A and B are shown apart, each in its own frame.
Chain A
């Protein structure tokens, strides 16, 4: 017998489609943190990030039968979220809180002195992402902040590696003004 924690993604999807709605909870637990982390880095607000992840997971449930590669349902959910994040960034209803307002969430808070010193730099670094298009920001965050390979990002985003590289290159070009801070 396979216990719930040992169920593969494909098995969980099959159970949900067979009517076991509660099995979807396993996918929420498996991918909630990854999805939330990406939404937070893209949206810049905890409330917006939670709302985006909630919408992505509910949409994922509603359209689960359209997921063809059920072994990679996590990547499929990520794609739903990524599209919602880009729409959110374009939306005029977006929260006024920008990425530069993430200071309270940023790492390295254990040293108050270094906090004070680094807060302004971090604020400028993350605030600079606001100047990028949603597609450029997504590509830059996935490549340089989340450290994913081009091949992995291209597969998740359904893009060619060449198109993806072009987005990252343009994002770097747009961020080159920040380089003076680190020269």
Chain B
């Protein structure tokens, strides 16, 4: 395969600009590609497929009232607050934050999710995510903190199947899951808490406390 032939097959150059030898190959390729196209299966999805899919979906557990309540708590909701109420809320938070806190470090460590260090104006906390996934070719992370975009990539630095990532996250409560090889969603088996996502799966729940 010459570059010229590939460029022609990619639609980047016209046939009349090809050398004679390349043109013969190009015409043979066109016939072969046409053969692939005309002989490709054009079958429609079997009629029972829709019923099988919908049947499997109907069999998935429905979201209970508790799960709905948890989801309501975890998802942001826009509310209108008067300036006076906002001032009172800010004052109340200031009082709470100024109180001395003696929480031991171990209590803030979630199994599989370990806050490591914090700092900065926005009180970002670095959280270590760990997943054992031997045989995986890629592991990424999606959660409320990333708008459920699997944008955080974990690394298997020692090639031992232990995938890790250190992620800056603002204090709050978040649902999250791992995505293995871009297709398989995996709940963190070592999370402290879980929530039903209403679609037959459980999301791990991470609580990130503000750094001191």
List the interface of chain A (C-beta within 8 A of B): 19, 21-22, 24-25, 28-29, 32-33, 35-37, 40-41, 46, 50, 53-54, 57-59, 61-66, 68, 80, 83-84, 87, 102, 105-108, 118, 121-122, 125-126, 144-147, 150, 165, 168-169, 172-173, 175-176, 178-179, 181-183
Contact = CB atoms under 8 A, between A and B. Distances in A.
Nearest to B48: A50
B53 A57 contact: yes
A58 B39 CA distance: 30
Contact of B37 (A25, A37, A84, A147): A147
Contacts of A172: 1, 6, 9, 29
B54 A83 contact: no
B49 A53 contact: yes
26 contacts: A19-B63, A22-B54, A28-B49, A36-B44, A37-B41, A37-B44, A50-B49, A53-B53, A54-B56, A62-B197, A66-B150, A68-B147, A68-B148, A105-B43, A106-B39, A106-B40, A107-B41, A108-B39, A125-B36, A144-B37, A145-B37, A145-B40, A165-B10, A172-B29, A179-B29, A182-B31
Contacts, number: 138
Contacts of A87: 181, 183
Nearest to B32: A182
A66 B24 CA distance: 49
